[in-house]
Amino acid sequence: MKNIYIYGTGSKALLNLPALALEYKILGFVDSDVNKQGGFFLGKPIVHLSSLSEIEYNYIIVASSFSTTIFENLKAHNIQNAIDVDTLPSILEVASEYTTILGNIQESSLPSLNTLPRKYIEGTILLENREILLEQLPVDSIGVELGVAAGDFSERIIAKLNPKKLHLVDVWDSERYGEHLFQSVKHKFRDAIESGSCQIHRNTSLKAVDDFEDNYFDWVYIDTTHGYATTKKELAAYNTKIKPGGIIAGHDYCMGNWSKRSRYGVIEAVYEFCKTYEWRIKYITMDIDERQSFALERV
């Protein structure tokens, strides 16, 4: 069995990890961020590419969405024994089978979508897109976006609402949404941060909730994992943080992202939340290209 390092710690690496583990002995992971050198990912050491010349291994398997840049960096460090996972058909076949099995398990673990009683949907208004949804939220308000990524939607929030205080919550700890994006977001909103109208919380949504008092927010917008379990916990956790008359909204109110074979659980979580905590669906956006958003208010 050949010894390998996997270059990548994001979703592509994770999707191919079971197949790679069946074919190779995984020694660890390679990351472009030198600050992660010496750390661990899934119990395996993380090394920086500058350290590879000092380590014995057979191959570097590149499993990342940034493969072009990675191969350029490897070439610059005179590292030749790297293979793109996309050129390994046997790995891709097993990974596809694994993804299908995992998707079936996720599907079976979701609660049944029973009909939502009329009082939770009566008067629901359909909107064109989430730009129009923003126009329904109060200006000069206090709000929080859970899941910021590059801050593109955050920019639209500020432009539309001119919030009195906008809290941005994201952990920024993955390969795709990592340190580079965190620094970019800090730079993008530096003026708002300096003025005190924007505050960044580098934490998970379920840990950051403790930063806020009850009845604090005029609105919350959730755009994190899109999974059932996390969305259910987020809705429950931020329930008490909303002022009377406030709104809980969120993204990806749809069945899933089928191009990535990913089944979401937002709809199921929203249904349960409405019935458990007595909230109703006030708005649903209808632009399927951006995936639908929802907005809830108390019954």
Clarify whether residues 179 and 157 are in a common domain. yes
Clarify whether residues 261 and 119 are in a common domain. yes
Q: Tell me, what CATH number does 193's domain have? A: 3.40.50.150
Strand positions, DSSP E, the chain: 3-7, 25-31, 40-41, 44-48, 59-62, 82-84, 125-127, 142-146, 165-170, 198-202, 217-222, 242-250, 256-257, 262-263, 279-285, 294-298
Are 299 and 119 in contact by the 8 Å Cβ rule? The answer is yes
Tens of pLDDT, residue by residue over 34-87, are: 888 888 888 999 999 888 888 899 999 999 988 898 999 888 888 889 999 999
pTM of the model: 0.75
Clarify whether residues 169 and 281 are in a common domain. yes
Structural domain ending residue among the three candidates 54, 83, 107: 107
Structural domain ending residue among the three candidates 86, 107, 128: 107
Q: Tell me, what CATH number does 46's domain have? A: 3.40.50.720
Clarify whether residues 163 and 252 are in a common domain. yes
Clarify whether residues 75 and 43 are in a common domain. yes
**Residue 145 exposed, middle or buried by CB count within 10 Å (0-12, 13-18, 19+):** buried
Residue-wise DSSP of 93-126: HHHHHHHHHHHHHHHHHSPP-PPPPGGGTTT-EE
Clarify whether residues 155 and 70 are in a common domain. no
Residue located via tokens 């490897």: 74
Mean pLDDT (10-residue bins), the chain, 299 residues: 92 91 94 85 90 90 90 88 94 87 73 84 96 96 97 96 97 81 94 96 97 98 94 98 98 79 88 97 92 96
Domain that holds residue 154: 111-298
Among candidate residues 55, 242, 264, the one with its CA nearest the CA of residue 137: 242
Residue type, 238: Y
Give residue 173's pLDDT: 83
Residue 21's contacts (CB-CB under 8 Å, 6 or more residues apart) are: none
Clarify whether residues 129 and 102 are in a common domain. no
Q: How many angstroms separate the CA atoms of 217 and 253, rounded?
A: 22
Are 219 and 249 in contact by the 8 Å Cβ rule? The answer is yes
Clarify whether residues 276 and 189 are in a common domain. yes
Give residue 132's pLDDT: 97
Give residue 166's pLDDT: 98
Clarify whether residues 92 and 176 are in a common domain. no
Structural domain ending residue among the three candidates 107, 122, 152: 107
Clarify whether residues 47 and 129 are in a common domain. no
* Side-by-side strand order, sheet with 44-48: 40-41, 44-48, 25-31, 3-7, 59-62, 82-84
**Domains held by the chain: number:** 2
Clarify whether residues 101 and 119 are in a common domain. no
Clarify whether residues 103 and 128 are in a common domain. no
Q: How many angstroms separate the CA atoms of 164 and 138, rounded?
A: 10
